[in-house]
Structure 1
Amino acid sequence: MNRRVNWIVMIVISLGVIGFITTLVSDPLWLLKQIAIYAAIAGLIYLVYRLFSRRRMGKEHSSYMKAAKQSKRRFDDRSTKSSNVKNISQAKKARKSSAIKKKKQTPSHLTVIEGKKGKKKNRAFF
């Protein structure tokens, strides 16, 4: 049965290739128009999908994107600070300014969730 399906698929694909080549030789402008129409329809469907999926995500997705952008900004700041070479006087100034910046930073939006680390497992249920 599997070989029979394989041959049918190969026949359909070969007929499609023959039809494509025939159309390309006989009427290439019509073929380009059809490809452009299908591409425009696919692009329109994609844009509509993106529009509705963004609305459906709602507040949770926007909060996630905001947190991801904040995290990326912090990571970029750290990498640029470590890559710059500074002399000693500039390093002292940076320490003073970083101490001031640490005081001005807003508290993190992350919270700690307490787990059950202290509880012992009941060995009878393994």
Structure 2
Amino acid sequence: MTRRTNWIVMVIILLGVIGFVTTLVSEPLWLLKQIAIYAAIAGLIYLIYRLVSRREMGKEQSSYLKAAKQSKRRFDDRSNKGSNVRNISQVKKTKKASAIKKKKQQPSHLTVIEGKKGKKKNRAFF
């Protein structure tokens, strides 16, 4: 059955290529116009899809963007600390600022979920 469907697919693709080449040779301007129309329709459908999907995401998407921004900020802070050579007065200022910053940090939103690792299952093995 799979060989039969492979041949059918190959014949359809071959007929499509033959039709495309024939149209390209006989009426190239009409072909370009059709391609432009199909591209415009596809672009319009894509824009409508993006608009609808953005509305559906709502709170989830905004939460994700907020988390991504925080993660990027943390990564940038870590990468900048090791690369710059600073004088002593700048280091003292940043230590004071980081102490204030640590006090203002929000607690982690992650929680620990207790599992059942210690309990043994009561099953009969066959």
TM-score of the superposed pair, with normalisation by structure 1:
0.81
Match of 1:64 in 2: 64
Distance 1:4 1:80, change over 3 A: same
Q: Matched residue pairs, number?
A: 124
Q: Give the RMSD, CA atoms, in angstroms.
A: 2.3
Gaps of 5+ in 2: none
Take 1:7 and 1:101, find their aligned partners in 2: how far apart are those partners? 68
Amino acid at match of 1:43: G
Take 1:14 and 1:116, find their aligned partners in 2: how far apart are those partners? 58
User: Per the alignment, in what secondary structure is the counterpart of residue 122 of structure 2?
Assistant: helix
Matches within 5 A, 1:12-91: 12-91=12-91
Q: Give deviations 1:3-29, integer Å, cap 9, x for gaps.
A: 222222212111111111111111111
TM-score of the superposed pair, with normalisation by structure 2:
0.81
- Aligned-pair CA distance for 1:80: 1.8
User: Per the alignment, in what secondary structure is the counterpart of residue 21 of structure 2?
Assistant: helix
Take 1:5 and 1:112, find their aligned partners in 2: how far apart are those partners? 53
Q: Give deviations 1:98-117, integer Å, cap 9, x for gaps.
A: 223222x2413514244246
Distance 1:125 1:94, change over 3 A: same
Matches within 5 A, 1:100-111: 100-103=100-103, 105-108=104-107, 110-111=109-110
- Aligned-pair CA distance for 1:57: 1.6
Question: Which one of the candidate residues 113, 120, 123 is aligned to 1:122?
Answer: 120
User: Per the alignment, in what secondary structure is the counterpart of residue 82 of structure 2?
Assistant: helix
Alignment identity in percent?
70
User: Per the alignment, in what secondary structure is the counterpart of residue 40 of structure 1?
Assistant: helix
Distance 1:109 1:58, change over 3 A: farther
Match of 1:97 in 2: 97
Distance 1:122 1:2, change over 3 A: closer
Q: Which runs of 4+ in 1 moved over 6 A?
A: none
